Every structure is written in structure tokens, then in C-alpha cells.
Amino acid sequence: MKDLSPVSGIHSVRAALKFGTEGVAELWLEHTRRDRRLTEVAELARQAGVKVRQVDRDELDGGAEGANHQGVLAWVRVPAARSEQDLAALLDGLQEPPFLLLLDEVQDPHNLGACLRTAEAVGVQAVIAPRDNAVGLTPVVCKVASGAAETLPYFQVTNLVRVMEDLKERGVWLTGTAGEADIDLYAADLTGPLGLVMGSEGQGLRRLTRERCDRLVRLPMRGQVESLNVSVAAGVCLYEALRQRR
């Protein structure tokens, strides 16, 4: 379906229906499968006014493109990224300390999708990225994010460095990741207003982005590899922040 992205699996489809029904265009159910959870998902869709289609397994397999669909697939509209003005409004309206993820020129849609999924899971309020030299919200991103792209605000900004300066003026403590940093991730205080800043797949943080960080931390490495994939590194950092903030 043009301009639509498949979200498959009971948990992911339920999340898409619960938190972003205006973006769900249609729900597909495997007509031969009898499962109480599928019945509940179908009822959620009907309550939200989403069209429900009964299809055969082959059609579901084709739509899910190899993913484990568990007999259900939602077609969701690819959301638009939000603007800097929207970011200011979101920050003004927060009732708790900001918990943000900043991605500096992440270009792989699978990495962005995985970052969005983890960020949504730990309670990040917004993901911020530059408009240039970075992937936007694409069908692949939405598919990998498994519903998080529809529920977690994603902001693409003209000048990431300027936004970082604005965040610092708001009292947000910007913590970047770098292999040569002196501070171990697990020794850093990640409570309070926090912006985690992750670099790109190739070069990591750009110089100006790095210089705007209040501190740099490193992930402890005990093996032979020199670095982790950005989505994996983001997951490690986000969950350590969640552990400290609980």
C-alpha cells in the first residue's frame, strides 16, 4: 500500500491502535486463526473506526515481509517529523524532567527505527535529529519501530547545535557518548533533566555537537570490538538512565 507501512505482531499492532489510531488505515486479520488476543485487537480497531479485513495467510506473509505477524497486521500512515516550534511547545508542557534522545546524523533507517522503539519503551519524551544528512520517518523506520514512530514525537531540526544550546538554557544536561571519554557510563548521574546524544554510524559525534555536550561518557568494552552499533549503544544508555531514574 502506497505511503503506508506495515506494523505486524499482536503487541505492536495493539500499541499502534491504542496510541495512534488516527494513523492506522486498515487492519488485516488471518481469517482461519482463532485467538482471543486477535479478537481483542479486532475489537480495538472497530472501536477506533479502523477498517478490518479478513485475509489469508499468504497475503499476511506478503504484507509482513518476513516478520512474525502472529495473524495480524496494521497498515499505518508514515507520520511527519515535527518542527523546532513543536519541540518548544512540548518542552513547555512537560510535567516532569525532560528525558530526550538526540541522534547526530543517524542515516540507517533500521538504526533509527530501533532507537525509536527503545526510546519509547523507556519513556523518552522526544527524539531529536538534524534535518540534513539524517534519515527521516520512512516506511522502513516505522516498520522497525513497531508502532513507536506513531507514538513517540520525532523532531527534525535545521540546526542541531542551536537546539542543544536552547536545551542547555532550559537546564537539560547533555550527555554524549564517545569511546575516548574519561567517564564510564555507569559512573555518570543520568537523573534529572537529561538529553542523551548519540553519534552517527561512521564518525560518531561531530566536533560541534561534541563540544556542546556538558560531558562525554564511554560504554565499558571488555572484548575485542572497538564500538557498538548506534542503536545497541543507545539501548544500553537509555536503559541505564531508566534504571537510575526509577
Residue list for the binding site:
199, 219, 228
Q: Which residue numbers belong to the known binding site for S-adenosyl-L-methionine?
A: 199, 219, 228
- 211, with CB counted inside 10 A (0-12, 13-18, 19+), is exposed
Dist CA 80 CA 149 (whole Å): 10
Instruction: Count the Cβ atoms, other than its own, within 10 Å of residue 175.
Output: 23
What angle do the packed helices 160-169 and 84-92 form, to 10 degrees? 20
Give yes or no for a contact between 16 and 73, defined as CB atoms under 8 angstroms apart.
no
